[in-house]
Amino acid sequence: MQQIGLDAPKKLVADTSVKKGKPDPEGYEVGARLLGISPKDAVVFEDSVNGVVAGCAAGCTVVGVLTSTHEDRLREAGAKYVIKDFTQVQISHANGLVITLDI
């Protein structure tokens, strides 16, 4: 997370925080609730098909990350964007949180 300019999270969703794992959307729904936002206002970075499916089912914008899964599979699962790695992500905090993807 330091690579893209983010501090360590103050709130965390772990396997003990949910009853169902991915592809169930519960983890992302719980995370959004902890942050006090709607899932539709969340951006999810995922490198697995089950993770993409979970993020999409929660209503989040999903960015696929090409670490272990081919781009076609991430897109078929619902990823709106696909990046090679986090060097393609820039974060700005000037006027609220702005995420820019270099794709």
Strands of 1-103, DSSP E: 43-46, 61-65, 81-83, 89-92, 98-101
DSSP label of 46: E
- The model's pLDDT over 56-72, given as tens digits with 9 standing for 90+, comes to 999 999 999 999 999 99
Alpha carbons 15 and 59: distance in angstroms, whole number: 20
- The predicted pLDDT at position 94 comes to 64
pLDDT(95) > 80: no
Burial of 78 (0-12, 13-18, 19+ CB in 10 A): middle
The predicted structure's pLDDT at residue 91: 78
Kindly tell me if the per-residue pLDDT of 28 is higher than 80.
Answer: yes
